[in-house]
């Protein structure tokens, strides 16, 4: 295929992605991420994945998308905005990461990706490909950076120069020949805001000790939170936004426009509401949200651990 055809295909795809609500779309040539292998291996060897045993699985597939989609030629990276500046009614009650304010993003974004795949097939014929939303061994931040959608910040999140880091990342791995975009430079500079603000010291420059991260402790860790984190959770009951809240690039963040991400009632809960939370109320209020996947017992265990309610 000649360069002009590749360019036209890529432009068409990005237009369709934008029409579906994706904020940014970039493309990389499918290849093995050789440069990531030693970093991933070192991270795993130091047990920074904590109890997330699945992170050690499918090592080769994480590095090479062609093992996930045989014959893959392109990795399409997409960013979907979830930024919501709303906050709980009081700073003293449990906090929920803002990405979990509305409907589970897996369901919302996966449907859009599958619709985009259908459009591609209508336009260009049969395509071999798969859609991913935080659901397979895909190094999504690395691919998004390769596609020029941002850079990997010191907090290890993807940071976009135009709108910050409040994005869900998604991918299409396709056997379609597309024009690749180029990476951009790192704009973190000498800033250490995310490192300084992390209450559990989980962040060092460009490295995350996930076993210390509040998001890991309140979601992924199924056991009791270790006592060493007592008094350091800052009332985060599910996930954590601290390293994003302090990031200077998020001054450019825009509120999302996705109706499915409309905030649930718990943002206006009082201390009494949280204190009296039972499984029946949990099922009703958090149905269809990321918290539902984590479960009532995990949330209640976390609330009991740091006991923010007197």
Which residue numbers are catalytic? 134
167 Cβ neighbours under 8 A, 6+ residues apart: 23, 24, 79, 80, 81, 82, 158, 160
Would you say 194 and 274 are in contact if contact means Cβ atoms under 8 Å apart?
A: no
Residue 3 CB-density burial (10 A; 0-12 exposed, 13-18 middle, 19+ buried): exposed
The dihedral through the CA atoms of 299, 300, 302, 307 has a sign that is positive
Phi and psi at 157, nearest 5°, equal -85, 155
Q: Could you tell me which of 240, 243, 284, 289 has the C-alpha nearest to residue 263? A: 289
* DSSP letters for 192-210: -HHHHH-TT--EETTEE-G
Would you say 74 and 174 are in contact if contact means Cβ atoms under 8 Å apart?
A: yes
Would you say 31 and 74 are in contact if contact means Cβ atoms under 8 Å apart?
A: no
For residues 156-194, one letter each, b for 16 or more C-beta atoms within 10 angstroms of the residue's C-beta and e for the rest, the string is bbbbbeebbbbbbbbbbbbbbebbbbeeeeeebeeeebb
Q: Taking the C-alpha atoms of 54, 57, 61 and 62 in order, what is their torsion angle to the nearest 10 degrees?
A: 50
Per DSSP (E only), the strands in the chain are 24-29, 74-81, 95-96, 129-132, 151-152, 158-159, 167-174, 203-204, 207-208, 236-238
């Amino acid at each position: 295929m000649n360069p002009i055809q590749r360019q036209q295909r890529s432009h068409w795809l990005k237009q369709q992605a934008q029409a579906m609500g994706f904020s940014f779309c970039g493309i990389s040539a499918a290849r093995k991420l050789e440069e990531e292998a030693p970093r991933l291996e070192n991270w795993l060897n130091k047990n920074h994945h904590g109890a997330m045993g699945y992170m050690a699985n499918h090592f080769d597939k994480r590095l090479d998308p062609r093992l996930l989609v045989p014959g893959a030629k392109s990795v399409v990276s997409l960013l979907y905005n979830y930024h919501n500046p709303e906050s709980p009614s009081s700073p003293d009650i449990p906090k929920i990461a803002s990405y979990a304010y509305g409907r589970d993003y897996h369901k919302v974004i996966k449907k859009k990706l599958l619709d985009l795949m259908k459009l591609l097939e209508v336009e260009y014929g049969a395509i071999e490909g798969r859609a991913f939303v935080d659901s397979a061994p895909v190094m999504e931040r690395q691919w998004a950076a390769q596609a020029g959608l941002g850079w990997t910040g010191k907090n290890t999140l993807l940071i976009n120069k135009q709108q910050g880091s409040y994005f869900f990342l998604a991918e299409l791995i396709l056997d379609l020949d597309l024009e690749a975009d180029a990476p951009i430079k790192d704009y973190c500079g000498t800033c250490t805001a995310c490192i300084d603000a992390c209450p559990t010291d989980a962040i060092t420059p460009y490295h995350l000790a996930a076993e210390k991260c509040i998001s890991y402790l309140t979601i992924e860790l199924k056991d009791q939170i270790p006592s060493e984190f007592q008094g350091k959770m800052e009332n985060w009951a599910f996930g954590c936004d601290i390293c994003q809240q302090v990031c200077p690039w998020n001054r450019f963040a825009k509120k999302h426009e996705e109706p499915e991400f409309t905030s649930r009632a718990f943002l206006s809960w009082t201390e009494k509401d949280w204190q009296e939370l039972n499984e029946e109320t949990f099922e009703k209020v958090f149905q269809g949200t990321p918290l539902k996947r984590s479960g009532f017992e995990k949330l209640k265990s976390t609330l009991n651990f740091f006991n923010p309610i007197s």
